[in-house]
């Protein structure tokens, strides 16, 4: 694979026999597509193999109601923030349809009356809003924002850093460890302390240090529990909040999120279109059964239909249990690594509820079903920290939450492509049901859970229930069976402390390489994942391209030395 521009790649492809490839990417989720695009851009003859009838994986737009195909929903992931400008620019994604509407404020209406809105970028209005609940908290808000911005300056660049293999004595690993230490030499004692707090505290304890009002703390806690199998009092949830607060959607406003026009599937389509333009082939309904191994190297893949396709480089973007435990013979992987993957934590207890609405929710606290600012951002069901905690405790005790927590959004506040004029789509990201619901469909119980979730919103906006035209419920079992999200975890693995940075997906293999030469790994279970950020796919492709370049250089040196 030459690290050459597209024209050279096209030339290389022109001379190659049909159906032969330099690189195969397993999985056509957004990370697989990013990897495919970068590999093809480097000149490699690249094939992306997707098991489903369409690409996108968890970043997908679908029409779940056969009788109402005019309604489209972002069936799983629903908002963008973390895709770095480098990838957007390199792949020219705007030209391929990447178009984001920055979303409005976090909005929470309260059962006891009143509401709060929190803005990503408007300190004056935040002060007004928070003052309704606590003057002290309103005054603390700018300091909190500045504190988070300071931490984002440290953590943001780390997202694009390849984690070093800490503890390894190999010269390359020692060099990378030193390079990371050098890059962060500017950190002072205070900042290191703040990062330590962020990494180890619960979001509840952290917010207690800053704020007093339950309403403000409830609103700010949301990002700490998104997709986690942990309530707000669990250590590590402060970091989850940071992970969801350091991106921006290209408008320069930290922590802001946005809606992709056409839903999240349009992000995947934009990346797919860029990959194809660079010459990648994308094959659908092409489920990979196993990775071929020859002479201790990855040598290709075998599809479920028995077809064998060979390539020198394989990039897998599947869940780690699937990629390493199901698709590679155990004899090809070291026991320590296998043990780490077997112990990989992959629970969430998330249920996605997608709704088609005849009209917008008419909140008692902010009346009117005409489009207003509070419909344009997150429409939360997280009135207090204790409310969120209760929902988690129910699920940990083995029952679905009686009153679930929800991060709701109404993308049609901006995006008119998803539903007919005058109607809306509402997407509810809800928690929790028991984590082991990934093992069985639990259909009737999920219906009852969705009823309760809808009732909670109906208490705040009494037109809500009657406005629902269609509903679609995706629980952990469907996430695993249909989308390959083992255990129903939304990120291919929990963002718990022991699964971050140099530990993601396993110590010694956080550099997007694997124990099997020729096999690279770029799913959300690697550093910077999860989320629709494309970084794992980008890094895995870069690792493969760099290794091929070194191998070519070594070969040239060998030839020269033989001649002389």
Ligand X SMILES: Cc1cc2nc3c(=O)[nH]c(=O)nc-3n(C[C@H](O)[C@H](O)[C@H](O)COP(=O)(O)OP(=O)(O)OC[C@H]3O[C@@H](n4cnc5c(N)ncnc54)[C@H](O)[C@@H]3O)c2cc1C
Residues that bind ligand X (CB under 6 A): 26-32, 49-52, 57-59, 76-79, 82, 287-288, 317-318, 322, 350, 352, 429, 479, 483-485, 490-492, 523-524, 529-532
Nearer to ligand X, 29 or 236 (CB): 29
Nearer to ligand X, 27 or 262 (CB): 27
Residue found by looking up tokens 């679908």 in the block: 62
Helix (H) or strand (E) holding 115: strand 115-118
Nearer to ligand X, 71 or 429 (CB): 429
The alpha helices in 376-442, defined as continuous H runs, are 385-396
Nearer to ligand X, 363 or 429 (CB): 429
With beta carbons less than 8 A apart as the criterion, state whether 31 and 537 touch.
yes
Nearer to ligand X, 118 or 141 (CB): 118
Find the shortest distance in angstroms from Cβ 551 to ligand X. 27
Angle between helices 135-159 and 203-210 (to 10 degrees): 130
With beta carbons less than 8 A apart as the criterion, state whether 560 and 295 touch.
no
Nearer to ligand X, 27 or 434 (CB): 27
Find the shortest distance in angstroms from Cβ 535 to ligand X. 10
Coil, strand, or helix at residue 517?
coil
With beta carbons less than 8 A apart as the criterion, state whether 342 and 184 touch.
no
Nearer to ligand X, 103 or 130 (CB): 103
Find the shortest distance in angstroms from Cβ 8 to ligand X. 27
What secondary structure does DSSP assign to 456-488, as a single string?
HHHHHSTTTGGGEEEEEEE-HHHHHHHH--TTB
Find the shortest distance in angstroms from Cβ 33 to ligand X. 8
Find the shortest distance in angstroms from Cβ 237 to ligand X. 17
Find the shortest distance in angstroms from Cβ 530 to ligand X. 3
Nearer to ligand X, 54 or 396 (CB): 54
* 382 vs 388: CA distance, rounded Å: 6
Count H helices and E strands in the chain, helices first.
17, 19
What secondary structure does DSSP assign to 159-170, as a single string?
HTSPPP-TT--S
Find the shortest distance in angstroms from Cβ 520 to ligand X. 13
Coil, strand, or helix at residue 392?
helix
> % helix / strand / coil in the chain, to the nearest 5?
40, 15, 45
Q: Which of 490, 447, 493, 457 has the alpha carbon at shortest distance from 349?
A: 490
Find the shortest distance in angstroms from Cβ 75 to ligand X. 8
Terminal CA-CA length for the chain: 27
Strands 378-381 and 297-303: unpaired
410 burial (CB, 10 Å; 0-12 / 13-18 / 19+) is buried
Find the shortest distance in angstroms from Cβ 437 to ligand X. 14
Nearer to ligand X, 211 or 257 (CB): 257
Find the shortest distance in angstroms from Cβ 82 to ligand X. 6
Nearer to ligand X, 60 or 126 (CB): 60
* 502 vs 512: CA distance, rounded Å: 11
Nearer to ligand X, 387 or 538 (CB): 538
Q: Which of 158, 160, 127, 129 has the alpha carbon at shortest distance from 141?
A: 127
Q: Which of 434, 436, 432, 414 has the alpha carbon at shortest distance from 424?
A: 414
Find the shortest distance in angstroms from Cβ 288 to ligand X. 4
* 225 vs 240: CA distance, rounded Å: 7
């Amino acid at each position: 694979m030459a690290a050459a521009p597209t024209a050279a790649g096209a030339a290389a492809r022109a001379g190659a026999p049909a159906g032969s490839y330099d690189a195969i990417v397993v999985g056509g989720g957004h990370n697989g597509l990013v990897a495919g695009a970068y590999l093809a851009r480097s000149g490699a003859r690249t094939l992306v193999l997707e098991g489903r009838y369409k690409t996108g994986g968890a970043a997908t737009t679908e029409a779940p109601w056969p009788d109402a195909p005019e309604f489209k929903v972002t069936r799983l992931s629903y908002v963008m923030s973390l895709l770095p400008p480098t990838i957007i620019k390199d792949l020219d994604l705007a030209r391929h349809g990447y178009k984001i509407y920055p979303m409005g404020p976090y909005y929470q209406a309260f059962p006891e009356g009143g509401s709060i809105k929190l803005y990503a970028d408007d300190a004056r209005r935040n002060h007004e809003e928070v003052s309704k609940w606590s003057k002290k908290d309103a005054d603390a808000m700018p300091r909190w924002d500045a504190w988070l911005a300071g931490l984002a300056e440290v953590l943001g660049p780390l997202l694009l850093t390849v984690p070093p293999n800490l503890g390894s004595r190999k010269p390359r690993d020692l060099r990378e460890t030193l390079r990371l230490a050098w890059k962060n030499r500017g950190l002072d004692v205070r900042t290191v302390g703040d990062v330590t707090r962020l990494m180890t505290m619960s979001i509840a304890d952290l917010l207690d240090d800053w704020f007093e009002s339950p309403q403000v703390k409830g609103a700010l806690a949301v990002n700490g529990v998104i997709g986690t199998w942990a309530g707000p009092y669990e250590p590590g949830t402060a970091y989850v909040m940071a992970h969801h607060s350091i991106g921006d959607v290209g408008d320069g406003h930290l922590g802001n999120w946005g809606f992709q026009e056409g839903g999240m599937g349009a992000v995947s389509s934009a990346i797919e279109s860029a990959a194809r333009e660079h010459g990648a082939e994308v094959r659908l309904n092409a489920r990979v059964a196993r990775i071929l191994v020859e002479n201790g190297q990855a040598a290709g893949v075998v599809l479920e239909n028995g077809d064998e396709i060979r390539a020198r480089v394989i990039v897998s973007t599947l869940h780690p249990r699937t990629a390493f435990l199901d698709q590679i013979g155990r004899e090809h992987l070291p026991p320590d690594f296998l043990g780490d993957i077997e112990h990989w934590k992959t629970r969430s207890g998330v249920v996605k509820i997608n709704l088609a609405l005849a009209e917008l929710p008419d909140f008692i606290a902010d009346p009117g079903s005409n489009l207003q600012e509070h419909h344009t951002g997150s429409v939360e069901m997280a009135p207090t920290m204790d409310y969120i905690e209760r929902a988690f405790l129910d699920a940990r005790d083995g029952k679905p939450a009686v009153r679930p927590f929800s991060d709701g959004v109404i993308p049609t506040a901006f995006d008119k492509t998803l539903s007919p004029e005058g109607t809306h789509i509402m997407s509810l990201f809800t928690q929790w049901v028991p984590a082991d619901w990934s093992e069985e469909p639990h259909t009737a119980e999920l219906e009852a859970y969705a009823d309760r979730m809808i009732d909670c919103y109906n208490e705040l906006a009494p037109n809500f229930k009657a406005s629902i035209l269609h509903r679609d419920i995706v629980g952990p079992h469907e996430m695993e069976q249909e989308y390959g999200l083992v255990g129903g975890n939304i990120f291919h693995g929990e963002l718990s402390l022991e699964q971050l940075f140099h530990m993601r997906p396993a110590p010694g293999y956080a550099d997007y390489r694997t124990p099997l030469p020729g096999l690279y790994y770029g799913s959300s279970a690697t550093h910077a994942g999860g989320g629709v950020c494309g970084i794992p796919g980008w890094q895995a492709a870069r690792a493969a391209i760099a290794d091929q370049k070194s191998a070519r250089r070594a070969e040239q040196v060998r030839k020269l030395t033989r001649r002389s």
